[in-house]
Chain A
Amino acid sequence: MRRSSACALALVAAIVASCGVPSPLGLEEPIRVERAMLVSDLATRDSSTTAITAFENPSALVAHQQRGKLVSGRATRDAFAVAMRLQNRGTGYWVLPLSTPDPSANDELTFEAMLSFAGDVTPGPAVAEVRAVGRDGVAGPASFFPLCLLGPIPDNLNVCDPSLAPPLLVVSLGWDTDADLDLEVELPDGRRIGPKRPSAGVAGAIDIDAGASCRHDGARRENFVVADAPLLGRYRVYASLFDACGQSHVYTRATVHRRALGAREGTFSQAETARADAQLTAFNVGAGERGAQLVLEFSLP
């Protein structure tokens, strides 16, 4: 009787403890795959015949925090799913069931995956690791595909190819919430570059008007980019809160990045030379240039 009771209790405890497979959202992962499941303990066997036979990636470039990057491919006919991750990053594989067979490729099973990349992933070269999962739940040999993860600061792909020279000067203004904040830069010649006048020709231009009209585009960053010929003198960087979009306040950070020589000859790098933080409240809205808050000053050279 005592033994049967103990067995019953053990059975109940086992059911409670082992019930179900966890399904984390994986928002902390460097990469996410829509409609896929994050599996942290995927078994692999490189000698398996279950494998990826084709992988198509329209572009190896991955914009900062890019969402909806479509990749596709095929796997052998005995595969059940495809597993992918960034090599040596993250905590597991994203597993996506395979879809329809491709009659033009010996009925190999196809897949399409929509990839999203985290904002805090380290910019630079990366490798996508893709495996096919067989009937026994074990993944076969890996296929590797190169990627270039771009950062939030325009660098002319210097992060992946140091031989490419980054812009001479980038003034960047980023903020922490969905508000219509505008970067304004006062040039040494007195001109003020902002959302109403975003370009000064070769003296630089602002790339986008992020969050315009409270459109939640998720960018939360504007950059003033000078490719090759900056004006010499004193620059003033302002943050102008055009619309708080219902927020009470906005934290913002202005940074200055300048081109530098790389460690090896013929290479370049991008270095941050100044930064400053500021806080704007909803009371700062609507004052125009007079209400813009001075965040940072610097001089060239």
Chain B
Amino acid sequence: MNRRDTETQRAALLLALSLSAAAVPASAQQRAAPTDDVDVEVPARAATQPTPTPAQAPSQEPPRASNDELVRALQQRLDRLEARLAEAERRSATTAQATPPTPPTTTTTTPAQSTRDEAPRYAAIGASVVQTTTARPDAYSVLDPVGLVLSGFVQAQYETSQLSQDQLVQGMALNRDRFVLRRSRLRVDGSWRWFAMAFELDANTVRGPVVGVRRAEATFLWRNSGNRAVPWLAVTAGVTEPAFGAELGEGVRRRWFMERTTGSLAFFGGEADIGVRAWGGVGALRYALGVFNGVPLDDRGVQSGLRGIDPSRHLDLSGRFGVDTSAASRSWSVTAGVSFLAGSGFHPGDDGTKPSVEWRDNNQNSMIDAGELVAIAGRAPTPSFTFGRWAVNADVALRVRTRAGTTRVFAEATMATNLDRGVLAPDPIATGYDVRQLHGVAGFTQEITQYGIVGFRWDIYNANSDLFEERRGALEPKNQSVHTLSPLVGLTWPGYARLVFQYDIVLDALARDARGIPTDLANNQATVRVQGDF
């Protein structure tokens, strides 16, 4: 029973008591005392019981008590009912505190869910019925031992970019004005008392038609005694999210912004990796610790020529420790945490080459002249090497629910070394020095009732904080920072569909002005996305 229902019943109760006090004050005293039923609907039933009419009262009741006595008796009864109502609200709040914040979606309660509170805990475990729900399954879906749940969503969009050209470079099309099926997911979640599983397929057309596994995980659960509380311990293995930062685990279905920030995409080309993760919570404290291959699975498909992959046997260790106060209050919550990652990168060796001959047309007459044939000796194979990479991260988010809607303010920062695997993958073996990366993001979203959304996000990513370039014979610092300002506006039909427009203003130093000095490149982009859920 939610808070609004409780308040409605409370008002009805007081109104009924007032009316009965005005109409038949004596009859209330003779009514049997209510049983010790915690169901808050009891007073409402009492208020709706047939009451004698004023005309009948004089012949059926003993002599009237004084008005003061009546008022006192009614006041006592009102106090008792108030106390019972407060107790019922307290118990209801205790249950609600264990519930994590849910997205602003309309939940279609299934029969199994509707009886969950009345039945003994886990009584329904083992009822492996396939059901669909608009409640988004996410990392907390294992909190409900509801059997199997089928869900999915589709994100289709039109995107346009100032970078778009009708040209090919290295076989890659530069046109970015197009319709794209960004994601279409089909997911099966299963959750029982001790175990849970999830399997999710994705199909998209970002880099051509691609179908792949986005999630395939099995989880052992040591559940918290509180209903729907975060488990004491959960161990998840398979294709799942690494434990690092807040943005990575935000969930593509729930996130309002189109994509993760540039820095997050550089560190993790995809949200999923293969490994094992232990996670859980005690009260407001949260923890997650995982070991992964260190090769995020990019759901957009394989990008040819991408460096930064790590086929070595060294694993990446990552973790996040933080707090989540969403269980303490439904009106506001704070989520914060610190994360770390330690792992290794890979410098590939090569297989060696055969001797060869090269022609260098020194005098550019398109003919082989003396001295223009150069012998190139064969090279021996070179070994591969690994190098270290690490990152630290801090994130904080504040969520406030008001009559206007839910406001969320968030910020996150990451400092890393050699972690870029998607934008400018460093190779300290080749360059001889470690490459530092810096990433930061801040923003807010404001829901307007439950049907609208506005938001703004700023993020910065510096792929190499120590880069220099030579200009006019002098080494000048080369700014690699990319700032992105992303306002968005959208409409939503909770639980069913979204329509979101986002404009990305990208500020960088990737172009050059007439003096040859780096300046901002015209590479803003806009996206209109339609999302359908089931």
CB-CB under 8 A from A137, the residues of chain B are 513-515
The reply to whether A80 and B515 contact each other, CB–CB distance below 8 Å, is yes
Pair A109/B514 contact, Cβ less than 8 Å: no
Q: Judging by beta carbons under 8 Å apart, are B512 and A37 in contact?
A: yes
Max chain B C-beta neighbours (<10 A), residue from A16, A21, A137, A138:
A21
Interfacial chain B residues near A39, Cβ < 8 Å:
513-514
Listed residue (A20, A25, A95, A99) with the most chain B CB atoms within 10 angstroms of its CB:
A20
Chain B residues within 8 Å of A138, by CB:
514
Q: Is the beta-carbon distance between A27 and B511 smaller than 8 angstroms?
A: no
Stretch at the interface among B137-145, B196-204, B211-219, B362-370: B362-370
A19 CA to B366 CA in the complex, in Å?
44
Encode contact with B along A79-106: 1 for CB under 8 Å, 0 otherwise: 0110100000000000111111100000
B167 near A25: Cβ-Cβ < 8 Å: yes
Say yes or no: is A278 at the interface (Cβ < 8 Å to chain B).
Answer: no
| Residues in A whose Cβ lies below 8 Å from that of B520 | 19-21
Q: Judging by beta carbons under 8 Å apart, are A83 and B174 in contact?
A: no
**Among B364, B505, B513, B514, residue most surrounded by chain A Cβ atoms (within 10 Å):** B514
Residue-wise interface mask of B (505-529) relative to A, using a CB-CB cutoff of 8 A (1 in contact, 0 not): 1110011111111011111100000
Residues of A within 8 A of B (CB-CB), count: 37
In the bound assembly, the distance between CA atoms of A39 and B10 in angstroms comes to 73
- Structural contact, A21 and B511, CB atoms closer than 8 A: yes
Contacts A19-B507, A25-B167: A99 and B470 contacting too (C-beta < 8 A)?
A: yes
Cβ–Cβ < 8 Å partners of B362 in chain A: 58
Contact A109 B473, CB 8 Å, known A20-B522, A25-B169 = yes
- B292 on interface, CB distance cutoff 8 Å: no
Q: Mask for B145-183, Cβ within 8 A of A = 1, else 0?
A: 000000000000000001101010100001000000000
Nearest CB in chain B: distance from A266 CB, A: 25
Q: Are A21 and B364 in contact (CB under 8 A)?
A: no
Query: Which residues 20-64 in A have Cβ within 8 Å of B in the complex?
Result: 20-25, 27, 37, 39, 42-43, 58-59, 61, 63
Main secondary structure of the interface of B (DSSP, over half): loop
Do A59 and B515 touch (CB < 8 A)?
no
The answer to whether B365 touches A80, judged by C-beta atoms less than 8 angstroms apart, is: no
| B471 interface contact, C-beta 8 A | yes
**From B364, which residue of chain A is reached at the shortest CB distance?**
A59
CA distance A135 to B472 in the complex (A): 12
Alpha-carbon gap, A23 to B506, bound state (A): 14
Q: Which of B505, B516, B517, B522 contacts A23 (CB 8 A)?
A: B522
Which residue of chain A has its CB nearest to the CB of B487?
A12
Known: A22-B162, A24-B165, A80-B516. A58 touches B363 (CB 8 A): yes
Within 8 A of A (CB), among B484-517: 503, 505-507, 510-517
Shortest beta-carbon distance, B531 to chain A, in Å? 25
A237 within 8 A of B: no
A69 interface contact, C-beta 8 A: yes
Asked whether A98 lies within 8 Å of B514 as measured between CB atoms, the reply is no
Does A139 reach chain B (CB closer than 8 Å)?
A: yes
In whole angstroms, how far apart are the Cα atoms of A184 and B162 in the complex?
48
Residues of A within 8 A of B521 (CB): 20-23
Residue A1 lies at the interface, judged by CB distance under 8 Å to chain B: no
From residue B509, how far is it (CB to closest CB) to chain A in Å? 10
The number of residue pairs between A and B whose CB atoms lie closer than 8 Å in the complex comes to: 104
Pick from A16, A19, A20, A133: contact of B516, CB below 8 A.
Answer: A133
Contact B514 A81 (CB under 8 A): yes
Contacts of B517 in A (CB 8 A): 80, 97
For B515, give its contact among A27, A99, A100, A135 (CB under 8 Å): A135
Cα A23 to Cα B148 with chains together (Å): 52
Q: How does the 8 Å CB contact mask read for A176-210 relative to B, with 1 for contact and 0 for none?
A: 00000000000000000000000000000000000
A193 to chain B, nearest CB (A): 22
Q: Is the CB of B162 within 8 A of A20?
A: yes
Fill in one digit per residue for A149-162: 1 if any B CB lies within 8 Å of its CB, else 0.
00000000000000
A6 at the interface (CB under 8 A from B): no
CA distance A16 to B512 in the complex (A): 19
Q: Are B473 and A16 in contact (CB under 8 A)?
A: no
Contacts of B505 in A (CB 8 A): 15-16, 19
Residue in B165, B472, B523 whose beta carbon sits within 8 Å of that of A80 in the complex = B472
Q: Which residues of chain B have C-beta atoms less than 8 A from A99's C-beta?
A: 470, 472-473
Bound-state Cα–Cα, A96 to B366, Å: 26
Using CB atoms, name the residue of chain A closest to B510: A23
- Do the beta carbons of B162 and A21 come within 8 Å of each other? no
**Is the beta-carbon distance between B511 and A37 smaller than 8 angstroms?**
yes
| Distance in angstroms between the alpha carbons of A137 and B516 in the assembled complex | 9
User: B524 is contacted by which of A19, A61, A83 (Cβ under 8 Å)?
Assistant: A19
Using A22-B522, A83-B514, A95-B514 as known contacts, say yes or no to A69 and B364 having CB atoms under 8 A apart. Answer: yes
Q: How far is the CB of A61 from chain B (nearest CB, A)?
A: 6
Q: How far is the CB of B508 from chain A (nearest CB, A)?
A: 8
- The chain A residue sitting closest to B168, CB to CB, is A27
Task: Assess the B473–A100 pair: CB atoms within 8 A.
Answer: yes
Nearest B residue (CB) for A41: B514
- Which A residues are CB-close (under 8 A) to B167? 25, 27
Instruction: Report B-chain residues with C-beta under 8 Å of the C-beta of A22.
Output: 162, 511, 521-522
A51 CB → nearest B CB, Å: 15
Contact B472 A109 (CB under 8 A): yes
Query: How does the 8 Å CB contact mask read for A245-279 relative to B, with 1 for contact and 0 for none?
Result: 00000000000000000000000000000000000
A150: nearest chain-B partner, CB-CB: B366
**A196–B209 alpha-carbon span in the complex (Å):** 44
Nearest Cβ in chain A — how far from B381, in angstroms?
Answer: 24
When distances are taken between beta carbons in the complex, the residues of chain A under 8 Å from B470 are: 99-100
Looking at the assembled complex, report how far the CB atom of B455 sits from the nearest CB atom of chain A, in whole angstroms: 15
**What are the residues of chain A within 8 A of B512 when measuring CB–CB?**
21, 37, 95, 97
Q: Provide the bound-state CA to CA distance between A97 and B510, in Å.
A: 14
Closest to A81 in B: B516
Contact digits for A110-143, partner B, Cβ 8 Å, 1 yes 0 no: 0000000000000000000000011101110000
Expressed in whole angstroms, the Cα–Cα distance for A176 and B503 within the complex equals 40
Q: Which residues of B contact A80 (CB under 8 A)?
A: 471-472, 515-517
Residues of A within 8 A of B513 (CB): 21, 39, 137
Q: Are B514 and A20 in contact (CB-based, < 8 A)?
A: no
Chain A residues contacting B162 (CB-CB under 8 Å) are 20, 22
CA distance A96 to B523 in the complex (A): 21
Q: Is the CB of A96 within 8 A of B364?
A: no
* Chain B, 295-312, CB within 8 A of any chain A CB: none
Please name all residues of chain A whose beta carbon is closer than 8 Å to the beta carbon of B169 when the two chains form the complex: 25
Residues on A with beta carbons closer than 8 Å to the beta carbon of B174: 25
Interface centre among B174, B470, B471 (most CB of A within 10 A): B471
**Are B511 and A23 in contact, CB atoms less than 8 angstroms apart?**
yes
A63 to B362, CA, bound (A): 14
CA distance A69 to B360 in the complex (A): 11
A109 to B523, CA, bound (A): 32
Residues of chain B touching chain A, judged by Cβ–Cβ distance below 8 Å, are 162-163, 165, 167, 169, 174, 362-366, 470-473, 503, 505-507, 510-517, 519-524
Q: List 29 A-B contacts (CB under 8 A).
A: A16-B505, A16-B524, A20-B507, A20-B521, A21-B513, A21-B519, A21-B520, A21-B521, A21-B522, A22-B522, A23-B163, A24-B165, A43-B514, A58-B362, A59-B364, A61-B364, A63-B366, A69-B364, A81-B514, A95-B514, A95-B515, A95-B516, A96-B516, A97-B471, A98-B516, A100-B470, A135-B515, A137-B515, A139-B514
With contacts A25-B165, A97-B515, A97-B516 known, what are 7 further pairs, Cβ within 8 A?
A: A19-B505, A21-B519, A23-B522, A27-B167, A80-B472, A101-B473, A137-B515
Closest 6 CB pairs of A and B: A97-B516, A20-B522, A81-B516, A59-B364, A80-B515, A137-B514
